[in-house]
Amino acid sequence: MASLEDVEDATRLEGGGALEQRFAALSRLLVAHHALWAHRPFVQLPAPWEDDYPEVSRWARSLDERAVEAYEAAADAVREPPGPDFAALPGAPPPPSRLRELASSARALCEVLPLPQRSAGVEADDEQRRHLSWKIPGRKLEQILAFGRVALCGLGAAPRAYVDWCAGKGHLGRTLSLLSGLPAVCIETQATLCERGAALTERVHRLQGRALSARCRFVTASVFEPNAHEELGPDVTALALHACGDLGIELLVRAVERGVPALALAPCCYHRVPGGSYRPLSRAGAASGLELAQPGLRLPAAEEVTARAGMRAMRRREMVWRLAFDQLRREASGDDRYRSLPPLPPRWFRLPLAAFCARAATLEGGTALPARWDAEALEREATQRVVTARALGLVRAVFRRPLELWLVLDRALWVAERGYRVRVGAFCARDLTPRNLALLAEKN
């Protein structure tokens, strides 16, 4: 089992050697326990690992909904390193020692240091915050400011301009321009977002009333198009805050290709990759033998650190409604394979179960339902299935952060292999965003 003895430095992820050592330890953990996290929850019941871990299976299946809720909350708790510790709960069966040891090893391998953030002249004053916060939710603004400070403090290169990759309305580029006095180029594929971003930048110009203001130029282009790539070069610093999946990877590839001296990337939505599976970028990743399909790639985002109680309750209801409909479909068709419904409007899940199933049956050419069925009994059965699936899913939570850190380190190692000095760490606290890992890279 992987442990801190496999890692020379428990926290500092800087330089090729430290990155490789941590990556190797995470690879061993994830490969050895692949069956515990790579399956499709709610679809594969029983879970494929239950025969190999009978004591863990018995424990999970013995939990009632109250205990499951408590363990889920503990797994999502804001702490470093993140992840479940499986402390015993009053009135609930104690977790098996094998599971506690595995969780402890996984959390130890996910120790990271905060990236440097504070330096004279890069803090937004009250007036700047007031202008920047227009049309930006508070938590998002704090994420942007934290990532901006990391870029300004942690990257030594003095650029001609900053490039905000997948910019949306240019909040990051506008913030960096305002704090640094340098221009920003904001690349975004949606023209309406570029127009709104330009209007917000003009508003800062109008209200700031001083020499130092935001200078942003918007480029409407897909990041996969040449006119986006042409904005990268040896005189810019490239930045991407929560660029999804292959959009962030495209930044790394094009930045290296065009000689960008410094870049910062905070990835997210790791499952958004062509073909639905992930091909490791680095040499170490390719040699690891780790297979990453959609169920595993979605795992890092399967947490509710910042979700409100109402949102969590609606997600639970959606799980029950979906599983109930699937059970009806199986009974009517005789086909015992799981078939997922497409994404549906939230209002559908506010319907009574019978009305929801009738509406869902009209999708995709229509689904025959049993002539007679008991909605209350079906809801009780589906609710218990969801509780069981969530209980078994507690085991997957052990691997959320290890897998996310593995994916970030794979990107970092690929960049390091191309002559960059790379650091990986946390750019903000997890109560601002659970996707708080970032890599900083500078050419040697």
pLDDT of residue 337: 83
The per-residue pLDDT for range 240-253, each reduced to its tens digit, is: 999 999 999 999 99
Bridge partners (DSSP) of residue 262 are 237, 442
The per-residue pLDDT for range 390-412, each reduced to its tens digit, is: 999 999 999 999 999 999 999 99
Residue 74 has pLDDT above 90, yes or no: no
The amino acid present at 293, given as its one-letter code, is A
CB atoms within 10 A of CB 346: 9
Q: How confident is the model at residue 219 (pLDDT cuts 50, 70, 90)?
A: very high
Superfamily classification of domain 126-278+415-443: Vaccinia Virus protein VP39 (3.40.50.150)
Residue 209 has pLDDT above 70, yes or no: no
Question: Phi then psi for 217, rounded to 5 degrees?
Answer: -115, 125
The per-residue pLDDT for range 293-335, each reduced to its tens digit, is: 999 999 998 866 555 778 888 989 999 999 999 999 988 888 8
The structure's pTM equals 0.90
Residue 4 has pLDDT above 60, yes or no: no
pLDDT of residue 382: 95
pLDDT of residue 8: 40
The per-residue pLDDT for range 124-152, each reduced to its tens digit, is: 666 666 666 666 777 888 999 999 999 98
Provide DSSP, 357-422. HHHHTTSTT-----SS--HHHHHHHHHHHHHHHHHHHHHHHTTHHHHHHHHHHHHHHHHHTTTEEE
User: What sign does the dihedral 35-411-72-385 (CA atoms) show?
Assistant: negative
Residue 375 has pLDDT above 90, yes or no: yes
Most confident by average pLDDT, 5-9, 90-94, 177-181 = 90-94
In 100-204, DSSP assigns E strands to 161-165, 184-188
In the chain, % of residues over pLDDT 70 = 90
The chain-wide mean pLDDT, for the chain, equals: 89
pLDDT of residue 211: 45
pLDDT of residue 229: 98
The CA distance from 190 to 187, in Å, is 9
Domain boundaries, the chain: 126-278+415-443, 309-395
